[in-house]
Amino acid sequence: MKSHPKSHPLSASPSSASKSSVDRRQWLSYAAFGGAAIASGSSQAATVATAASANQTQPKYKFKKSINLWAFPYPDKMSLKECLQLAKDAGFDGIELNYDLDSDLSPKSGTKEFTEIRKMADEIGIAISGVCSFLFWPYPLTSNDPAERARGMELAGKMTQAAHDLGTENLLVVPGAVHMPWREDHDPTPNDVCDQRAREAIGKLLPQAEKLNVKLNMENIFFNGFLMSPMEMADFVDSFQSEHVRVHFDTGNIMEYQFPEHWIPILGDRIQNVHLKEYTKKGTDHSLEAFRPLLDGTTNWPAVLEAFDAIGYDGYLTFEYFHPYAHFPEALIYQTSDSLDRMLGKEQPRLT
């Protein structure tokens, strides 16, 4: 295996091998204006604002709440079972699991082990909302290195089987990359070659996915230089003419230059699964640090949720975050669940 790069892409996470969490995270590499209120008008303004707030009706959505395993300190401080239980206790409907090279979810496990994980999740009462992996970066399906491409195809096939055994129909797939800035050793792939190789790779993976009833969900990355617009993504997915090639839409990956609420209506019912990732445009640090805890960013969430509702999406909204809290890590999980409840218009306890 090649040595790991020093930084990470915007959509996947490091291996959960027994290296330090810092090593694993390395893979993932207009302020509001307020003026002084005029004293004589402040009381009236407050009254008007309160009345307006009272008259507003919070939309209620029935999307399912999910969270990615990368938000948990797994496996350094918590076992997989503890993570599943915490997600359930915090009020999530599902959890997205990550396939890598050295963990409970890796080539070291097979159908027997994955079926046991599925049974454990069933007993806890939480669904497995999908399978995700960082392995599409060290082993891209469109690499100029035939050995990397071959290993990527092998791993993608194993992930498809794992998703089936885990009881989920959702497998996130990164179909290709023109460039990976976080990999200094990556030889850029010309755009037309990348597109050709990606189509060939997905075409070869599709028969197994159809047999196992697993959806190969293409994720929008943007910083990989491939499928840079919703029209390109739609064309790519439609070219396979299969219900088993869909879209895993990530709200945060395009936020630096584009807007998720613009993509959603164009992709429409091609969207099979969603990463709900917060992003802030307030800084100039265009790294993983630009991804924030939910609601601590600049995403127009009312517009995004309205767009999902308008296309009839009724699946999981999976919070993806790469920095488990060093202290009291359960706080992030509960905070995210609470934020999602407020976004979805679920009834909140009344303040006394």
Per this entry, what is the length of the chain? 352
At 283 the pLDDT is: 64
- Name which of 39-48, 73-82, 219-228, 237-246 the model is least confident about: 39-48
Q: What is the DSSP string of 88-141?
A: HHTT-SEEEEEE-SSSSSSTT--HHHHHHHHHHHHHHT-EEEEEEESTTTTS-T
Whether the CB-CB separation of 130 and 163 falls below 8 Å is answered with yes
Query: What pLDDT sits at residue 2?
Result: 38
CA-based torsion, 251, 265, 242, 229: positive or negative: negative
Segment 6-31, tens digit of pLDDT: 344 444 444 344 443 334 444 444 22
Match 């050295």 to its residue by tokens.
102
Nearest Cα neighbor of 149 from 136, 131, 162, 159 is 136
How far is residue 166's CA from residue 128's CA, in Å, rounded to a whole number?
7
Q: Exposed, middle or buried: residue 330 (CB in 10 Å: 0-12, 13-18, 19+)?
A: middle
| C-alpha span between 34 and 344 (Å, rounded) | 28
Residue 284 has a pLDDT of 56
Tokens of 63: 């999307």
What is the rounded distance in angstroms from the CA atom of residue 259 to the CA atom of residue 253? Answer: 10
The answer on pLDDT for 208 being more than 50 is yes
- Alpha-carbon span 332 to 330, nearest angstrom: 5
Q: 38-93: per-residue pLDDT in tens?
A: 233 333 444 334 434 444 688 999 999 999 999 999 999 999 999 999 999 999 99
Closest by Cα among 267, 336, 328, 271 to 297: 336
Output the average pLDDT for the chain.
86
DSSP category for residue 4: P
Between CA 89 and CA 333 the distance in angstroms is: 10
The candidate with the shortest Cα–Cα distance to 278, out of 258, 262, 255, is 255
Cα 101 to Cα 124: distance, rounded to the nearest angstrom: 26
Give the integer Cα–Cα distance in Å for 172 and 78.
Answer: 24
pLDDT of res. 351? 56
What is the per-residue pLDDT for 349?
A: 64
Q: Is the pLDDT of residue 288 over 90?
A: no
Task: Quote the pTM value.
Answer: 0.84
In the predicted structure, residue 132 carries a pLDDT above the cut 90: yes
